[in-house]
Amino acid sequence: MRHIRKNDIVVLLKDITACRGVDESRDEAARSKWATGRGDKAKVLAVYPESGKVVVEGVNYRYKHIRPDRDNPRGGRLQKESVVSISNVQPYCSRCDRGVRVKTLRNEEGKRVRVCARCGGMIGAA
Ligand SMILES: [Zn+2]
C-alpha cells in the first residue's frame, strides 16, 4: 500500500465509471469524458493509506453539492474526482509500458527506492 505515492503515474486495473454524476442525457462523447477504463494511465492526486484509497486525476467523477457561502453565494454542484480503491491501480513502468508490481530495494546510499518487479527499472525516480 505504501508503494503508491502522490504524483505517481498509475494504470487502472479495471473500468472505473462514475456511478453518480454521469448525466445520462448527454451524448456518448460527453459521457466518455467521465468514464475511464482498464489500462488508462493517470496521475495520482492524493493517497489515503489509512483507508487504502487513492484519488486519481480524471477518474471517478462525482458531483459534490455545495452550500452557498461567501465565496460561492449561489452554492451549486462541483464535479470532482472521488476516491478509488488502491487495489484498482498499479504503478506505471515506462520501460515495460504497463502497470507493474514494485519491489523496494536500498540504493548505494542506503535509501529505499522503488523498482519495477519486472524489469528492475526505477519507479517514479526523484
Ligand atoms: Zn518495468
Residue 117 grid cell? 518487479
pLDDT(77) > 50: yes
**Residue 66's domain spans which residues?**
9-94
Report pLDDT digits (tens) over 1-11: 568 999 999 99
Largest CA-CA distance found in the chain, in angstroms, rounded: 57
Mean pLDDT for the stretch of residues 110-119: 93
Average pLDDT over residues 90-115: 93
Domain membership of residue 75 (yes or no) is yes
In this prediction, residue 3 carries a pLDDT of 85
At 9, list the grid cell. 503515474
Please indicate, yes or no, if residue 64 is contained in any of the structural domains: yes
pLDDT for 33 beyond 60: no
Distance between Cα 114 and ligand 1 center (Å): 11
Using the mean position of ligand 1's atoms as its centre, give its distance from the Cα of residue 125 in Å.
13
Q: Which residue has the higher pLDDT, 58 or 12?
A: 12
**Is 102 inside any structural domain?**
no
Scored b (16 or more CB within 10 A) or e, 114-126 reads bbbeeeeebbbee
pLDDT computed for residue 21 by the predictor: 46
Q: Which residue has the higher pLDDT, 57 or 23?
A: 57
- Centre of ligand 1 to C-alpha 97, Å, is 7
Name the residues around ion ligand 1, CB cutoff 5 A: 93, 95-96, 116, 118-119, 121
What's the structural domain count of the chain? 1
Hey, what's the cell of 119? 524489469
How wide is the angle at C-alpha 64 spanned by C-alphas 61 and 68, nearest 5°?
150
Is 23 inside a domain boundary? yes
Identify the pLDDT of residue 61.
78
Closest among 33, 13, 14, 15 to 23, alpha carbons compared: 33
Q: What is the pTM of this model?
A: 0.77
Residue 89: strand pairing partners: 12
